Amino acid sequence: MAKHTGRGIAAIEYPTGMNQNGDPSQCWIKVKPDGRIDVFAGTADIGNGSKTIQSQIVAETIGVPYDWITYDNSNTDSSPVCTGTFASRATFVAGKAAEKAALQVKQKILEIAGKELEIDPTDLEIVDGEVVAKGAPQTKLSVGDVAAAATWGHGELITGTGAQLKPYAAIIDPETGEVDLPPHSAISYAACSAEVEVDDETGEVRVVRLQQCYDVGRAMNPTLVEGQIEGGAMMGLGLGVLENCYPYYPSVEHRGGAFGSYLAPGMEDMPQIDTIMIENPSADGPYGAKGIGEMANNPQPPAIAAAVHDAIGVWITELPITPERVLRALEAKTEPRREGKKVVFDGELSVNAVSKGGITFEVPA
């Protein structure tokens, strides 16, 4: 009996926004008479932090403090279309709509401030909630005063709307998969190292450390990005070594119907996680952001599988890598089939071993 340690590496990519695009998000903004900003969007916050990120984008774009923003995504009467919170699109697509709406609001504020100050709006900028003459910072007017002037003096409502939609990329040749437009917007990238400890008596795999690097485009809020990356790592760990609806897949027997009979990762499973963020900005996202919410659970399972091989010399390619699978693999010590220049692993799992000819996988040589 012994514990063996191993390390595995993985590198992945993941698209931002719906595959083939065609997924609109919209935003509208109104300004209260004291300059405070109300943002309306239809983006559900599922814990991804989109309320925070979109509020940050609006505050930054207009030039007002973050705490001036209220964000309302509460219902479909007041909030415009958002295709939804999936496909890593809430910052990238919906955030872009918020940025566009905020730019309109900013322009409107500058126009009204220009009238009040009798200065061309192009010579004005907004800094920390004040409209300031470029090069003459003593000439200024608070955004609150501008909003009051709009409301009580000019009889105007300061609003802005924004919509983000990349057109749907149709597959024009289903034989090859050729598309008529780019089917993705930004792509995010990540690499991961997993260190594991495998007990060859119990078969247990313990993930000891995950070191991960993500290209996030732009870390809009580093705390929330780290939360996505670390939370995603735990889901990836669950995929890698713990979770399974059908423990004897494809059989449906022994399916767990409660947390007590379904093994999701808990705090005791959490390894040391080191997060490195790099920023290779996207062309389309707000402030160069990419979406990394979803990919955050993708690199760990293959890194763990490689680390298990590094530790005990067997490849386990059915997830999760449970103690039962580890012990069976150690017992079987299956070698790949070698035929000429072919090295064939996992022959027993192949469709060729199971189907009665209905489908096969043929590899030229």
d(CA 96, CA 83): 13
User: In DSSP terms, which residues pair with 41 in a beta bridge?
Assistant: 27
Q: Is 282 near another protein (CB under 8 A)? A: yes
Q: Is 107 left (phi over 0), alpha (psi -120 to 50) or beta?
A: alpha
Q: Is 102 near another protein (CB under 8 A)? A: no
Q: Looking up tokens 């991961």, which residue turns up?
A: 192
Give least dist CB 66 to another protein, A. Answer: 5
d(CA 199, CA 189): 32
Give least dist CB 194 to another protein, A. Answer: 10
Q: Is 325 near another protein (CB under 8 A)? A: no
Q: Is 193 near another protein (CB under 8 A)? A: yes
Q: Check residue 18 and report its DSSP letter.
A: S
Give least dist CB 177 to another protein, A. Answer: 4
Phi, psi of 141 (to 5 degrees): -150, 135
List the one residue from 184, 203, 271, 314 that touches another protein (CB under 8 A).
184
d(CA 17, CA 95): 11
Task: Provide the 10 A C-beta neighbour count for residue 2.
Answer: 8
Q: Is 14 near another protein (CB under 8 A)? A: yes
List the one residue from 4, 5, 9, 151 that touches another protein (CB under 8 A).
9
List the one residue from 301, 314, 326, 329 that touches another protein (CB under 8 A).
301
For residues 233-272, which are near another protein according to CB under 8 A?
235, 238-239, 243-246, 249-252, 255-259, 262, 264
Of the pair 2, 359, the CB lying nearest another protein is at 359
For residues 199-228, which are near another protein according to CB under 8 A?
211-215, 217-224
Give least dist CB 237 to another protein, A. Answer: 12
Q: Which of 299, 221, 243, 268 is nearest to 48 (CA)?
A: 221
- Pairing state of beta strands 69-72 and 37-41? parallel
For residues 138-157, which are near another protein according to CB under 8 A?
none
Give least dist CB 163 to another protein, A. Answer: 13
Question: 98 and 58 in contact (C-beta within 8 Å)?
Answer: yes
For residues 42-101, which are near another protein according to CB under 8 A?
42-47, 49, 51-52, 55-57, 59-60, 65-66, 71, 73-77, 79, 81-87
Give least dist CB 251 to another protein, A. Answer: 7
312 three-state secondary structure: helix
Give least dist CB 120 to another protein, A. Answer: 25
Give least dist CB 117 to another protein, A. Answer: 23
Which amino acid makes up residue 284? D
Q: Is 288 left (phi over 0), alpha (psi -120 to 50) or beta?
A: left
Q: Looking up tokens 């670390």, which residue turns up?
A: 230
219 three-state secondary structure: coil
Of the pair 202, 246, the CB lying nearest another protein is at 246
Of the pair 157, 248, the CB lying nearest another protein is at 248
For residues 105-134, which are near another protein according to CB under 8 A?
128
Task: Provide the 10 A C-beta neighbour count for residue 295.
Answer: 24
